[in-house]
Structure 1
C-alpha cells in the first residue's frame, strides 16, 4: 500500500515537475511560459484585478481589527441643572457626571475573533483566485500569440516553396518543356500563398500589439518556446493510467483555491449564525455616575446597568443567518461539483490534445513527403503542375493543422500544470 502511494505521488511529481516549496510565480514560469520569473510576477501583479484583491485583503484585515476591538467605546455624560426651591427661596445649581460603556458578554468576543480571522482568510483565498485567473488568462493569450507566430512562420515557408515552383515553371517554359498555362498556374498559386501569409502575419502582429497593450514592458513570447511534441508526450505519460488520473483529480480538489474559498465562506456563514444567536441576549451597558445636588449640600455616587430586551427582530436575524449558512453549504457542494468536472475536463483535453497532435504530425509528415516527391517528379518532367499544387495545398493544410494541434496540446498541458497546488502556495502572501 505504501509503495503504491509512493508511486502515485512520484507520478504526480513528474507530471507537474514542481518543487514543493516553489512559489506560484516560479511554478508558473515552469509550465510553459517563456518569461523570466520576475517579469511574470510583475505582469500578474500589475493587473487591476490583482490590485483590487490586494486592497480587499487590506480592508478585511482592518475590519478584523475593528471587530476584535469591539463596537463599544466609553461615553462621558455631563449634566448641568438649576433647582428652584421656592419654599426656601433658593436657587441651587446641580451637576452630574457619568461614564458608561457597552460590555460584550462572555463568548461574543471569541466569536468576533473567529469572524475576523475567517474574513481575512476569505480575502486571502480571493487574492489567490485573482492571481490564478490572471495567470490562466496570461497562459491563454501566450499560446494564442504563439499559435499565430508559428502559423505565420509556416505560411512564410510555403511562400518560399511557391516561389521555387514558379522559378521552375518559368525555366521549363523558356526551355519549351511546359506550356505557358503552367506558369500562370504557378503565379496564381504564389499570389494565393502570399495572401495567406500576409493574413497570418497581420494576425500575429495584432496579437503582439494586444499583448503589449495589456502587458506593457513584458517581452513577447518566442515562438520557439513551445515544447517539442516528444516532450509533451513524456510529460503526459505518467497520467495515462486511470489510477494516476484519479489521484491527480483528488489532489487538485484537496487544495483547489475555489474549494478552499467555498469552505471558508461556509465556515464564515456558520460563525455569523452563531454570533446572531448570541445576540439574542443583548449586551448590557454599564456605567458609573456622580452628582452634586442642592448646591453641593448633597453628593451622590452610583453605578447603573441597562439591558435591551430582545424581541422578534433578533429572532428574525438568527433565522436569516441560519438560512445564509445553509445557502453557503449548498454553494460549497455546487463548487465541488464544478471543480471536479473542470478537473476531469482539463485532464481529458490535455490527454486528447497530445494524442491528436501526434496523429496530426504523422499525417502532415506523410503528406509533406508525398508533395515533395511529386514536386521532384514534376521538375524531372513527370506529372503536371496541377497535381503538384494540389499536393502542396493538401500538405500545407496538414502542416497548419499539425501546428495548431501542437500548440493546443501545449496550452492544454500548461493549463493542467498551472492547476498544481504549488502554483497557489504563496498566492495570498
Structure 2
C-alpha cells in the first residue's frame, strides 16, 4: 500500500505549486497590448468616430458665429403711378439693408465659437478616456478567465492522475471501492469547473474581439508583481488629478455658459438695421437716394432670455463644483485600491502557501492511514480555492495599478502619454 502511495504527496502538492504564476518583471504594463494597437483600436470605435464628427460640427458652428446671424437683404419693386387726367408713370425702387452687431457682440461671438471648438475637443478626449477605461476592464476580465482556465486544466490533469493511481490500488486490493468512487467524483467535479471556466472565457474573448477589432488576445501565461505596494496614496491621487478630462470638460462647459450669459447681456441693446434705398419716380423725372437706421425696442423677452442665460451659467458652475468633488473622490478611491489591493494579494498569497502545507500534511496522514481520501481531497480543494483567490487578488491589484496609470494619462492617452 505504501509503495503505491509513495508518489501521491508530490503529485497532489502540485495543486498549489503548479498553479503559482512565475514572477516576471514588475508592473502591469507587461500585461497590456501594444500602445499603438490600442490607439488604433480606440480611434476606430463608433463613439470616437462620432466625437470626431462633433468636433467638425463645432468648427462649423464657429464659422457660423464668426459670420454672424445677420444677412444682406435686397429689396426691389416696380409700380405704376396714375394721375387723374390720364397720365401714367413707371416707377422703380431698389433697397439694400443689413443688421449689424455692435457693442462688441462680434468679438463675443468669436470667443463663443472658439470655446465651442475647445469644448468639443475636451469632450472627445473624455470620450477617449472612458473608452480606454472600458477596454481596460474588459481586458483584465479576459485575463482573469484565462488564469482560471489554466488553473482548472492543471487540476483536471492532477485529478486524472490520481484516479489512475487509485484504480491501480483497487485492482491490487490496497484500496476500497469507495476511494475509487471518490477519485472519479473529484475528476468529474474538476472537469465540470473547467467546462464552466472555458465557457466564461469563450464568451469574454468573443465580446472582446467583437468590441475591439484588431486587438490581440491577452496572454496570461505569467503574472507580474504589482508595483504600487509601497506607493503613497496621496501621490497617486495627485497624479490622477493633475490632468483630468472630466474636470476639464466641466470647466469648458462652465466657461462656455459664462460667455453665452455675457453675450445675452449685450442683447439688451438690440442690433440696428441699416438700409440704403434708391427710388426712381415719374419715369425718372424724380430720383431719390436715402439711408435709414432702425432699432428694435427691447422688451420682456430679451430680459427673460438674459435671466435664463445667467441661470444656466450658474448651473454650469455648480456642476463644475460637483464634478470636482466626484473626481477627487474617484481619484482617492482608485489610488487607495491601487495600494491596498497589493496588501490584500500578499495576505491571500500567504494563506495559499499555508493551505498548501496543510494539504501536504493531510496527504501524509492519508498515506499513513490516519485520514481518509475524502479528507485529503478536502484539503486539496481548500488549497486550490486559496490559490484561485490569491491569483484573483493579484489580477485585481494589477488592474488597479493599470487604472491609476490610465487615469494619470501615463498609458493610452489621446495625447502623448506621460512617463513617470
TM-score of the superposed pair, with normalisation by structure 2: 0.88
Residue in structure 2 matched with residue 291 of structure 1 by the alignment: 279
Query: Is the contact between residue 286 and residue 305 of structure 1 (CA under 8 Å) also seen in structure 2?
Result: yes
CA-CA distance at 1:401 after TM superposition? 0.8
Residue in structure 2 matched with residue 8 of structure 1 by the alignment: none
Residue in structure 1 matched with residue 84 of structure 2 by the alignment: 86
Q: 1:361 to 1:339 in 2, by over 3 A?
A: same
Give the Cα separation in 2 of the matches to 1:76 and 1:339.
55
Residue number among 142, 152, 155 corresponding to 2:152 in the alignment: 155
Residue number among 262, 265, 270 corresponding to 1:277 in the alignment: 265
Residue in structure 2 matched with residue 128 of structure 1 by the alignment: 125
Query: Is the contact between residue 228 and residue 342 of structure 2 (CA under 8 Å) also seen in structure 1?
Result: no
> Secondary structure of 2:268's partner?
coil
Give the Cα separation in 2 of the matches to 1:127 and 1:33.
27
CA-CA distance at 1:156 after TM superposition? 0.8
CA-CA distance at 1:69 after TM superposition? 1.3
CA-CA distance at 1:31 after TM superposition? 4.3
Residue in structure 1 matched with residue 35 of structure 2 by the alignment: 37
> Secondary structure of 2:221's partner?
helix
Structure 1 stretches (4+) deviating beyond 3 angstroms? 30-33, 372-383, 421-425
Residue number among 63, 66, 70 corresponding to 2:61 in the alignment: 63
Residue in structure 2 matched with residue 259 of structure 1 by the alignment: 247
Query: Is the contact between residue 152 and residue 201 of structure 1 (CA under 8 Å) also seen in structure 2?
Result: yes
Query: Is the contact between residue 34 and residue 225 of structure 1 (CA under 8 Å) also seen in structure 2?
Result: no
Give the Cα separation in 1 of the matches to 2:409 and 2:219.
27
Give the Cα separation in 2 of the matches to 1:325 and 1:225.
52
CA-CA distance at 1:373 after TM superposition? 4.5
CA-CA distance at 1:405 after TM superposition? 0.8
> Secondary structure of 2:275's partner?
strand
Residue in structure 2 matched with residue 220 of structure 1 by the alignment: 217
CA-CA distance at 1:381 after TM superposition? 5.8
Residue in structure 2 matched with residue 168 of structure 1 by the alignment: 165
Query: Is the contact between residue 257 and residue 424 of structure 1 (CA under 8 Å) also seen in structure 2?
Result: no
Query: Is the contact between residue 129 and residue 414 of structure 2 (CA under 8 Å) also seen in structure 1?
Result: no
Residue in structure 1 matched with residue 390 of structure 2 by the alignment: 402
Moved more, 132-141 or 30-39: 30-39
Residue in structure 1 matched with residue 341 of structure 2 by the alignment: 353
CA-CA distance at 1:202 after TM superposition? 1.3
Q: 1:110 to 1:236 in 2, by over 3 A?
A: farther
CA-CA distance at 1:53 after TM superposition? 1.3
Query: Is the contact between residue 62 and residue 116 of structure 2 (CA under 8 Å) also seen in structure 1?
Result: yes
Residue in structure 2 matched with residue 51 of structure 1 by the alignment: 49
Q: 1:77 to 1:157 in 2, by over 3 A?
A: same
Give the Cα separation in 1 of the matches to 2:299 and 2:315.
25
CA-CA distance at 1:377 after TM superposition? 5.5
Give the Cα separation in 1 of the matches to 2:364 and 2:168.
15
Q: 1:170 to 1:379 in 2, by over 3 A?
A: farther
CA-CA distance at 1:285 after TM superposition? 0.9
Residue in structure 1 matched with residue 5 of structure 2 by the alignment: none
Give the Cα separation in 2 of the matches to 1:53 and 1:386.
60
Q: Is 2:347 aligned against 1:339?
A: no
* Deviations 1:179-231 (CA, angstroms, capped at 9, x unpaired): 221111111111111111111111111111111221233221111364x23xx
Give the Cα separation in 2 of the matches to 1:125 and 1:86.
73
Residue in structure 1 matched with residue 105 of structure 2 by the alignment: 108
Residue in structure 2 matched with residue 192 of structure 1 by the alignment: 189
CA-CA distance at 1:35 after TM superposition? 1.6
Query: Is the contact between residue 71 and residue 99 of structure 2 (CA under 8 Å) also seen in structure 1?
Result: yes
Give the Cα separation in 2 of the matches to 1:420 and 1:225.
26
Residue in structure 1 matched with residue 139 of structure 2 by the alignment: 142
Structure 1 unpaired stretches of 5+: 1-16, 18-29, 240-244
> Secondary structure of 2:92's partner?
strand
> Secondary structure of 1:94's partner?
strand
CA-CA distance at 1:382 after TM superposition? 5.9
CA-CA distance at 1:392 after TM superposition? 0.5
CA-CA distance at 1:354 after TM superposition? 1.1
Residue in structure 1 matched with residue 290 of structure 2 by the alignment: 302
* Deviations 1:146-205 (CA, angstroms, capped at 9, x unpaired): 101100110111112212221221222233222221111111111111111111111111
Give the Cα separation in 2 of the matches to 1:270 and 1:393.
64
Residue in structure 2 matched with residue 21 of structure 1 by the alignment: none
Give the Cα separation in 1 of the matches to 2:117 and 2:381.
59
Q: Is 2:399 aligned against 1:411?
A: yes
Structure 2 unpaired stretches of 5+: 1-26
